[in-house]
Chains A and B, each alone.
Chain A
Amino acid sequence: DGGITQSPKYLFRKEGQNVTLSCEQNLNHDAMYWYRQDPGQGLRLIYYSQIVNDFQKGDIAEGYSVSREKKESFPLTVTSAQKNPTAFYLCASSNPDRGTGDTQYFGPGTRLTVL
């Protein structure tokens, strides 16, 4: 089945440690995105990538880094510089199509908790 996978589902990290969240898609989508969701808030864009080897900062990129070496993979690293990393992280992908609104399809998410 085609889809987006994120691993792990739950992740715990100690303060001061970097951690990498995985996102893989087999939908052959060109664009991929990372969001975080906090209680009572909408999804906020961290980073996005329209093509391989290229990515742009979203609205809250500070303390995060990404890479896009392969079309199907877009890992997100939460660094120790991120002040409040505990959140639910969502990865999405889309095939840019101006005619259909670039519908983004989401993975199941990773819940990161900093201890």
Chain B
Amino acid sequence: DQQVKQNSPSLSVQEGRISILNCDYTNSMFDYFLWYKKYPAEGPTFLISISSIKDKNEDGRFTVFLNKSAKHLSLHIVPSQPGDSAVYFCAARYGNKLVFGAGTILRVKS
């Protein structure tokens, strides 16, 4: 039972444009959501998070939006840069654990 889903396996975006990565969840008890970025053969690095009581959090080029009624969150990267090319994981917190989505491969073309 996948509680956190990233339905797009990959996304290709032109440099300078906006990248939008999506994530859906089923468990309404999740209280925090996080985005991680991962390069091949490396560990994920934390990008940005949002509490379930908020609907937006911004940090530089990265903004996360949360729509609780739709159980949907998204990560916006503006402007996209070639160095953003990586796998992006959405994660949700329940109790002491994080539940991860399967990831979306982002390719930013120059």
Q: Is B34 an interface residue (CB 8 A)?
A: yes
B: interface residue count bin: 20 to 34
Q: Is B49 an interface residue (CB 8 A)?
A: yes
The tally of CB-CB contacts under 8 A between chains A and B is 59
Instruction: List the B side residues contacting A104 at CB < 8 Å.
Output: 46, 98
Of A61-69, A79-87, A105-113, the one touching chain B: A105-113
Q: How many residues of A contact B (CB 8 A)?
A: 29
Do A108 and B93 form a contact, CB below 8 Å, given A43-B100, A101-B32, A101-B49? no
5 nearest A-B residue pairs (beta carbon): A106-B43, A101-B32, A42-B100, A43-B100, A101-B49
Task: Spell out B's residues near A (CB within 8 Å).
Answer: 4, 6, 9, 32-34, 36, 41-46, 49, 51, 89, 93, 96-98, 100-103
